[in-house]
């Protein structure tokens, strides 16, 4: 029985992780969970899974929650996230929070030798070198939940990494894939939240529409698989059937295929090298699908992807700025404060204003993150 600490239990990945755990309650036990402020969603989860510890965003949420639950210790904020993540009783940390809030907790868990299932790409984008250094130093398994990275991980399984020519990430194109840049001028939040293939949290759905999600994934792939940016490609593939591919030196390409269901990569990150039977997951029927399409990625149409490649190549604090600026802009867009196209122009402005620090320590990263958030907010205040 593996004891799991789940950060982001009320979110899209969190709920699907709980589905996997419910199906396999002989293998997994929920030791602790964290969420932000969604008390109504959290109460039934806490009642069903009886975790020993719960972490919430702040004291106000704690007060709101405390009357509804017994026998569960309630902790608050970053300190709480760190405590449950490095807890002696935690075997596996699933980081499925939104944004970079889970960074410190993840570093602490790695230092304590925990097995990590990482959904949260912002952690690697903001501080990939620090995270991967710790992973190497402490020899922990650090397994991707993101479907593209789970695919690449599977394609690389048993292969000689020196013979990798290219990692090819597939991109569905998001909610606005068929719109021209002119047509993007009037789009609304409701339009942006309609992803054609995947049902996900609001922030990542907007990131998919701007293509920043793929940009974050390029940086995530760079860190997870230790490949230079010149060996990472992105191809548009609207069906999301091929989750990603690896090309090897002999020209062979290995791809991983499946239906778009996050429970598959979630279970794999929890049970690797074993695979669980997931009866609820639809099996892939290629005959029904009939045909798969691929298109060249257009950097002019999707400037966020270009910004991500450039920030990744520049390295250091540039990706911290990219991530923090993007988090603030998406939040402003979701709250009706800025237009869809302002997301990319404001991120670009923040990147242009930043003087990169090449090998930042954690303190520097957290400081640059905070400064960037304030700077981007000041563009609208
Ligand atoms: P959601 O927005 O659906 O969920 C985010 C979770 O984080 C919620 O449980 C939320 O709690 C919690 N949270 C937010 N702020 C805090 C905080 N300060 N302290 C503790 N918990 C907090 O996001 P997703 O599940 O869609 O995505 C999570 C991560 O996984 C992201 O990094 C995303 O990029 C990545 N990912 C997601 C995929 C998907 O299919 N959804 C696919 C691949 C990667 P509350 O509900 O209270 O706000
Ligand atoms: Mg993905």
Please count the CA atoms within 13 angstroms of the CA of 87 that sit on its side-chain side: 23
| Predicted local distance difference test score (pLDDT) of residue 256 | 98
pLDDT band at 257 (very low <50, low <70, confident <90, very high): very high
**Cβ(103) to ligand 1 under 6 A?**
no
CA 8 – ligand 1 centroid, Å: 5
- Please report, for the chain, the start and end positions of each structural domain, with discontinuous segments joined by +: 2-144, 149-304, 315-381
CA distance 38 to 43: 9
CA 12 – ligand 1 centroid, Å: 7
Which tens digits make up the pLDDT trace of 90-137? 999 999 999 999 999 999 999 999 999 999 999 999 999 999 999 999
Which tens digits make up the pLDDT trace of 188-205? 999 999 988 888 999 999
Q: Which CATH number fits domain 315-381: 2.120.10.30, 3.30.230.70, 1.10.1740.10, 3.30.70.260?
A: 1.10.1740.10
The ipTM estimated for the assembled molecules is: 0.99
CA 11 – ligand 1 centroid, Å: 5
Which tens digits make up the pLDDT trace of 221-238? 999 999 999 999 999 999
Which tens digits make up the pLDDT trace of 16-43? 999 999 999 999 999 999 999 999 999 9
**8 Å CB contact between 138 and 86:** no
- Average predicted confidence (pLDDT) for the chain: 97
How large is the average pLDDT for residues 279-294?
A: 95
Report the nearest atom of ligand 1 relative to the CA of 262. 40
SS3 state at 151: helix
| Predicted local distance difference test score (pLDDT) of residue 198 | 83
User: 13 — alpha (psi -120 to 50), left (phi > 0) or beta?
Assistant: alpha
Q: How many CB atoms lie within 10 A of CB 381?
A: 6
Residue 197 to residues 49, 97, 193, 237, Cα–Cα distance (Å)? 30, 21, 12, 11
8 is in an annotated binding site: no
Range 2-144 classified under CATH 1.20.1090.10: no
pLDDT band at 71 (very low <50, low <70, confident <90, very high): confident
Which tens digits make up the pLDDT trace of 297-309? 999 999 999 999 9
Nearest CA to ligand 1 atom 13: 36
CA 36 – ligand 1 centroid, Å: 9
The bound ligand whose nearest atom lies closest to the alpha carbon of 240 is: 2
| Token pair for 197 | 């293939």
**Cβ(197) to ligand 1 under 6 A?**
no
How large is the average pLDDT for residues 60-67?
A: 95
Percent share of the chain, pLDDT over 70:
100
Residue 304 backbone dihedrals phi, psi, to 5 degrees: -65, -35
**Cβ(264) to ligand 1 under 6 A?**
no
315 is in an annotated binding site: no
Instruction: Using a cut of 0.80, tell me whether the model's pTM lies above it.
Output: yes
| Predicted local distance difference test score (pLDDT) of residue 280 | 86
Which tens digits make up the pLDDT trace of 344-375? 999 999 999 999 999 999 999 999 999 999 99
**Cβ(36) to ligand 1 under 6 A?**
yes
Percent share of the chain, pLDDT over 90:
96
């Amino acid at each position: 029985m593996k004891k799991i600490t789940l950060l982001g239990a009320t979110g899209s990945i969190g709920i699907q992780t709980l589905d996997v755990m419910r199906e396999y309650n002989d293998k997994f036990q929920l030791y602790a969970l964290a969420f932000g402020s969604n008390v109504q969603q959290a109460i039934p989860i806490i009642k069903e899974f009886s975790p020993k510890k719960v972490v919430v965003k702040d004291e106000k949420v704690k007060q709101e929650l405390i009357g509804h639950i017994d026998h569960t210790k309630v902790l608050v904020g970053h300190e709480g996230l760190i405590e449950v993540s490095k807890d002696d009783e935690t075997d596996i940390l699933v980081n499925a929070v939104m944004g970079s809030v889970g960074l410190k907790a993840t570093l602490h868990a790695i230092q304590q030798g925990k097995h990590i299932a990482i959904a949260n790409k912002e952690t690697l984008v903001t501080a990939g070198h620090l995270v991967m250094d710790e992973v190497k130093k402490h020899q922990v398994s650090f397994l991707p939940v993101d479907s593209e990275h789970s695919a690449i991980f599977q394609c690389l399984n048993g292969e000689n990494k020196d013979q990798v020519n290219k990692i090819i990430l597939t991109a569905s194109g998001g909610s606005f894939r068929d719109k021209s840049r002119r047509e993007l001028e009037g789009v609304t939040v409701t339009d942006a939240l309609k992803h054609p293939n995947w049902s996900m949290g609001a922030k990542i759905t907007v990131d998919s529409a701007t293509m920043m999600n793929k940009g974050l994934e390029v940086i995530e792939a760079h860190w997870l698989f230790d490949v230079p940016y010149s060996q990472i490609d992105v191809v548009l593939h609207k069906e999301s059937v091929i989750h990603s591919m690896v090309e090897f030196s002999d020209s062979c390409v290995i791809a991983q295929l499946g239906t778009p269901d996050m429970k598959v990569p979630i279970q794999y990150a929890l049970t690797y090298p074993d695979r669980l039977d997931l009866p609820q997951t639809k099996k892939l029927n290629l005959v029904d699908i009939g045909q798969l399409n691929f298109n060249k990625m257009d950097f002019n149409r999707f400037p966020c992807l270009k910004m991500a490649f450039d920030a990744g190549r520049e390295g250091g604090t540039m990706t911290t700025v990219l991530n923090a600026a993007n988090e603030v802009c998406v939040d402003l867009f979701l709250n009706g404060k800025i237009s869809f196209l302002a997301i990319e122009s404001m991120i670009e402005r923040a990147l242009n204003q930043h003087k990169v620090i090449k090998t930042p320590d954690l303190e520097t990263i957290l400081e640059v993150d905070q400064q960037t958030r304030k700077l981007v907010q000041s563009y609208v205040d």
